[in-house]
Amino acid sequence: MKWTDSLEIAIELSEAHPDIDPRQLRFTDLMQWVLALPDFDDDPAHCGERILEAIQQCWIDEIS
């Protein structure tokens, strides 16, 4: 997965962290959790606030 795979990342995160409310998550934690996903393979330097917002929104949509 790459940073642009927002929906796929969100699905993986919701499965890995089922008790977490993504609306309450800090972006620093979100970034670390994405980097820790086993299938994630992208440069951490390519991540920005917009990417994290997109992942967060997909995660919120996924659990709603």
Identify whether the C-beta of residue 58 lies closer than 8 Å to the C-beta of residue 6: yes
Instruction: Give the pair of three-digit tokens for residue 28.
Output: 């620093």
Residue 1 covered by a domain: no
Phi, psi at 42, each rounded to 5°? -150, 165
Write the pLDDT tens digit of every residue in 18-62.
999 999 999 999 999 999 999 999 999 999 999 999 999 999 999
Confidence of residue 9 (pLDDT cuts 50, 70, 90): very high
Residue 62: the pLDDT is 92
CA 50-21-41 angle, 5° bins? 50
User: Using CA atoms, how far apart are residues 32 and 48, in angstroms rounded to an integer?
Assistant: 13
Confidence of residue 2 (pLDDT cuts 50, 70, 90): very high
CATH of the domain at 11: 1.10.10.600
Residue 45: the pLDDT is 96
Identify whether the C-beta of residue 62 lies closer than 8 Å to the C-beta of residue 11: yes
Structural domain harbouring 38? 6-63
Please state the pTM of the whole predicted model: 0.95
**Based on the structure, what is the number of domains in the chain?**
1
